[in-house]
Amino acid sequence: MDKITRELKTTNATFEQVVQIVEQQLGTSGFTILGKLDQGVLLRLAGKPTRAVQYALGNPLLGIQMLEHTPEVALYAPLRLAVYENRAGNAFVAYDRFTSQLAQYPNPEIAPVAQLVEQKLEELVAKATGGGQERHADTGGTNGAAQGEDTRRNERQ
């Protein structure tokens, strides 16, 4: 996506052209993978074979709808999703609730978009895990107060 962004900037593309190009990058989930970090590499090098990958994913067109009202949303968008395998070989998908992350910004302009993003993410994870078992963890909110269900983890069935 960075390569596309640089090309669009140098060619002075219109916003309509930008929308068209971004839409071509989106999958059926409405998201595109913006980055991938294989965090299992160091564990494997340490002799602890573990699969653990973090993905940055999102929809830049939805992101700008929030960023124009609250630039701090850039701290949480794109979304981050971890896919990992436990010692028993079971695969899990973990992610933070997007609406919980953005709750600290009480802007009525971003809340509906954040809810849409979270819904799309939940649908994607359910599809990827085959509707696997969902677990919630009370990880606390941004100010340390317990908010509950801030992190979700789905096991692949």
Number of helical (H) and strand (E) elements in the chain, helices listed first: 6, 6
Return the structure tokens found at 6. Answer: 């640089």
| Interatomic CA distance for residues 126 and 144, integer angstroms | 29
| Interatomic CA distance for residues 52 and 82, integer angstroms | 7
Place of tokens 């900037």: 9
Query: Running DSSP on this structure, what letter comes out for residue 157?
Result: -
Q: Give whole-number Cα distances, 152 to 10, 149, 155, in Å.
A: 40, 7, 10
Please give the pLDDT value at position 90: 87
Return the structure tokens found at 126. Answer: 């359910």
The band of 62, judged by pLDDT with boundaries at 50, 70 and 90, is very high
Q: What is the dihedral of CA 76, 17, 24, 63, to 10 degrees?
A: 10
Average pLDDT over all residues of the chain: 82
> Is the pTM higher than 0.85?
no
Over the stretch 4-61, which tens digit does the pLDDT of each residue have?
Answer: 677 667 777 788 888 888 898 899 999 999 999 999 998 888 888 788 999 999 999 9
Amino acid at 81: L
The band of 87, judged by pLDDT with boundaries at 50, 70 and 90, is confident
Please give the pLDDT value at position 67: 95
- The structural domains of the chain, ordered by start, are 29-155 (3.30.310.70)
Nearest residue to 129 via CA among 118, 121, 117, 137: 121
Over the stretch 99-154, which tens digit does the pLDDT of each residue have?
Answer: 999 999 989 999 999 999 999 999 999 988 887 655 544 344 433 333 345 666 66
**C-beta separation of 97 from 152 below 8 A:** yes
